[in-house]
Amino acid sequence: MAMIYWASLVQDETCHYLFANDEGLVMITLPQETFQNAVSWINRQFANCQLIGSLNELKGYRRALNDYWYGDFDAASSIKYSLQGTVFQRTVWEELLKIPYGMTVSYQDIADRIGRPKAVRAVANAIAANPIPYLIPCHRVIGKNGELTGYRGGLELKKTLLQQERENKKL
Protein backbone atom coordinates (compact mmCIF):
# COMPACT_ATOMS: atom_id res chain seq x y z
CA MET A 1 0.00 0.00 0.00
CA ALA A 2 1.39 3.38 -1.03
CA MET A 3 1.88 5.93 1.73
CA ILE A 4 1.03 9.49 0.72
CA TYR A 5 1.98 12.20 3.17
CA TRP A 6 0.23 15.54 3.22
CA ALA A 7 0.44 18.86 5.00
CA SER A 8 -0.99 22.31 4.57
CA LEU A 9 0.88 25.55 4.09
CA VAL A 10 -0.79 28.92 4.58
CA GLN A 11 0.61 31.98 2.83
CA ASP A 12 -1.16 35.33 2.99
CA GLU A 13 -4.36 33.69 4.26
CA THR A 14 -4.35 31.24 1.35
CA CYS A 15 -4.17 27.54 2.10
CA HIS A 16 -2.28 25.11 -0.09
CA TYR A 17 -2.03 21.37 0.42
CA LEU A 18 1.12 19.46 -0.42
CA PHE A 19 1.26 15.71 -1.04
CA ALA A 20 4.36 13.53 -1.34
CA ASN A 21 5.38 9.91 -1.29
CA ASP A 22 8.76 8.35 -0.57
CA GLU A 23 9.91 9.19 -4.11
CA GLY A 24 9.13 12.91 -4.03
CA LEU A 25 6.56 15.68 -4.23
CA VAL A 26 3.34 14.53 -5.89
CA MET A 27 0.99 17.51 -5.78
CA ILE A 28 0.49 21.11 -4.63
CA THR A 29 -3.00 22.55 -4.67
CA LEU A 30 -3.79 26.00 -6.00
CA PRO A 31 -5.74 28.42 -3.77
CA GLN A 32 -9.19 27.53 -5.11
CA GLU A 33 -8.63 23.76 -4.99
CA THR A 34 -10.08 21.92 -2.02
CA PHE A 35 -8.50 19.22 0.07
CA GLN A 36 -11.30 16.86 -0.97
CA ASN A 37 -10.61 17.43 -4.68
CA ALA A 38 -6.91 16.84 -4.09
CA VAL A 39 -7.62 13.59 -2.24
CA SER A 40 -9.84 12.43 -5.12
CA TRP A 41 -6.97 13.09 -7.56
CA ILE A 42 -4.50 11.28 -5.27
CA ASN A 43 -6.83 8.28 -5.02
CA ARG A 44 -7.07 8.09 -8.83
CA GLN A 45 -3.27 8.09 -9.12
CA PHE A 46 -2.52 5.69 -6.27
CA ALA A 47 -4.89 2.77 -5.81
CA ASN A 48 -5.24 1.71 -2.18
CA CYS A 49 -3.04 4.47 -0.81
CA GLN A 50 -2.92 5.55 2.80
CA LEU A 51 -3.02 9.31 3.45
CA ILE A 52 -0.97 10.42 6.42
CA GLY A 53 -0.85 13.98 7.70
CA SER A 54 2.81 14.71 8.41
CA LEU A 55 4.50 18.08 8.74
CA ASN A 56 7.83 16.31 9.18
CA GLU A 57 7.65 14.33 5.91
CA LEU A 58 6.68 17.48 3.99
CA LYS A 59 9.10 19.84 5.76
CA GLY A 60 11.54 20.17 2.85
CA TYR A 61 8.78 20.65 0.29
CA ARG A 62 6.99 23.21 2.44
CA ARG A 63 10.30 25.07 2.86
CA ALA A 64 10.94 25.04 -0.91
CA LEU A 65 7.48 26.42 -1.66
CA ASN A 66 7.85 29.04 1.05
CA ASP A 67 11.32 29.95 -0.27
CA TYR A 68 9.79 30.37 -3.73
CA TRP A 69 7.17 32.72 -2.33
CA TYR A 70 9.91 34.73 -0.62
CA GLY A 71 11.98 35.25 -3.73
CA ASP A 72 14.13 32.12 -4.07
CA PHE A 73 12.78 31.13 -7.46
CA ASP A 74 15.37 28.38 -7.81
CA ALA A 75 13.76 26.52 -4.90
CA ALA A 76 12.49 23.85 -7.28
CA SER A 77 16.01 22.81 -8.24
CA SER A 78 16.58 20.99 -4.95
CA ILE A 79 13.32 19.05 -4.96
CA LYS A 80 12.62 15.49 -5.97
CA TYR A 81 9.34 14.96 -7.76
CA SER A 82 7.14 11.91 -8.12
CA LEU A 83 5.32 12.92 -11.28
CA GLN A 84 2.07 11.08 -11.87
CA GLY A 85 0.92 11.32 -15.45
CA THR A 86 1.42 9.92 -18.92
CA VAL A 87 4.87 9.77 -20.48
CA PHE A 88 3.89 12.74 -22.66
CA GLN A 89 2.68 14.78 -19.66
CA ARG A 90 5.86 14.04 -17.69
CA THR A 91 7.97 15.05 -20.70
CA VAL A 92 6.13 18.38 -20.89
CA TRP A 93 6.40 18.98 -17.13
CA GLU A 94 10.12 18.21 -17.17
CA GLU A 95 10.54 20.74 -19.97
CA LEU A 96 8.75 23.37 -17.87
CA LEU A 97 11.46 22.98 -15.23
CA LYS A 98 13.99 24.32 -17.76
CA ILE A 99 12.26 27.72 -18.11
CA PRO A 100 14.25 30.27 -16.08
CA TYR A 101 12.32 32.36 -13.58
CA GLY A 102 11.23 35.71 -14.91
CA MET A 103 11.12 34.30 -18.46
CA THR A 104 8.20 33.09 -20.53
CA VAL A 105 7.86 30.74 -23.47
CA SER A 106 4.91 29.85 -25.68
CA TYR A 107 3.03 26.58 -25.87
CA GLN A 108 4.51 26.25 -29.36
CA ASP A 109 8.02 26.67 -27.91
CA ILE A 110 7.40 23.78 -25.52
CA ALA A 111 5.99 21.62 -28.33
CA ASP A 112 9.09 22.38 -30.42
CA ARG A 113 11.48 21.68 -27.53
CA ILE A 114 10.05 18.23 -26.92
CA GLY A 115 10.15 17.39 -30.62
CA ARG A 116 6.38 17.48 -31.12
CA PRO A 117 5.81 20.77 -33.02
CA LYS A 118 2.29 19.86 -34.13
CA ALA A 119 1.15 18.84 -30.63
CA VAL A 120 0.52 22.34 -29.28
CA ARG A 121 -2.98 21.51 -28.03
CA ALA A 122 -1.74 18.34 -26.33
CA VAL A 123 1.07 20.37 -24.74
CA ALA A 124 -1.50 22.88 -23.45
CA ASN A 125 -3.58 20.05 -21.99
CA ALA A 126 -0.52 18.54 -20.29
CA ILE A 127 0.41 21.94 -18.84
CA ALA A 128 -3.15 22.39 -17.56
CA ALA A 129 -2.85 19.02 -15.79
CA ASN A 130 0.42 19.96 -14.01
CA PRO A 131 -0.04 18.71 -10.42
CA ILE A 132 2.81 20.82 -9.00
CA PRO A 133 2.14 24.46 -9.88
CA TYR A 134 4.58 27.16 -8.79
CA LEU A 135 7.59 24.81 -8.59
CA ILE A 136 6.96 23.22 -11.98
CA PRO A 137 6.34 26.62 -13.56
CA CYS A 138 3.36 26.20 -15.87
CA HIS A 139 2.60 29.89 -15.24
CA ARG A 140 5.65 30.76 -17.39
CA VAL A 141 3.92 29.49 -20.54
CA ILE A 142 1.99 32.08 -22.53
CA GLY A 143 0.22 32.32 -25.86
CA LYS A 144 2.22 32.55 -29.08
CA ASN A 145 1.15 36.19 -29.43
CA GLY A 146 2.57 37.00 -25.99
CA GLU A 147 -0.79 37.15 -24.24
CA LEU A 148 -1.52 35.46 -20.95
CA THR A 149 -3.70 32.45 -21.57
CA GLY A 150 -5.18 29.66 -19.48
CA TYR A 151 -3.96 29.02 -15.97
CA ARG A 152 -5.75 26.71 -13.56
CA GLY A 153 -5.10 29.21 -10.76
CA GLY A 154 -6.64 32.05 -12.78
CA LEU A 155 -5.04 34.66 -15.02
CA GLU A 156 -4.71 37.17 -12.17
CA LEU A 157 -2.52 34.75 -10.18
CA LYS A 158 -0.50 33.94 -13.33
CA LYS A 159 0.07 37.66 -13.93
CA THR A 160 1.11 38.18 -10.30
CA LEU A 161 3.55 35.25 -10.36
CA LEU A 162 5.19 36.43 -13.58
CA GLN A 163 5.43 40.04 -12.44
CA GLN A 164 6.92 39.13 -9.10
CA GLU A 165 9.40 36.74 -10.67
CA ARG A 166 10.49 39.46 -13.11
CA GLU A 167 10.94 41.88 -10.25
CA ASN A 168 12.51 39.14 -8.08
CA LYS A 169 10.23 40.02 -5.20
CA LYS A 170 8.57 38.17 -2.37
CA LEU A 171 5.16 36.87 -3.44
Helix (H, G, I), strand (E, B) or coil at 113: helix
| 64-73, 106-115, 122-131: least confidently modelled range | 64-73
Evaluate if residue 170 carries a pLDDT over 60. no
- Helix intervals (H) in the chain: 35-45, 59-69, 87-96, 107-113, 120-128, 155-166
Evaluate if residue 169 carries a pLDDT over 70. no
- The pLDDT score that the predictor gives to residue 168 is 76
> What is the overall mean pLDDT for the chain?
91
Percent of the chain at pLDDT > 90 equals 68
Annotated active-site residue in 7, 138, 141, 157: 138
- The pLDDT score that the predictor gives to residue 131 is 97
Residue 129: exposure state from Cβ atoms within 10 A (0-12, 13-18, ≥19): middle
Q: Chain-centre distance of CA 131, in angstroms?
A: 5
pLDDT per position as a tens digit, 86-114? 999 999 999 999 998 889 999 999 999 99
Q: Is 138 a catalytic residue?
A: yes
DSSP letter assigned to residue 81: B
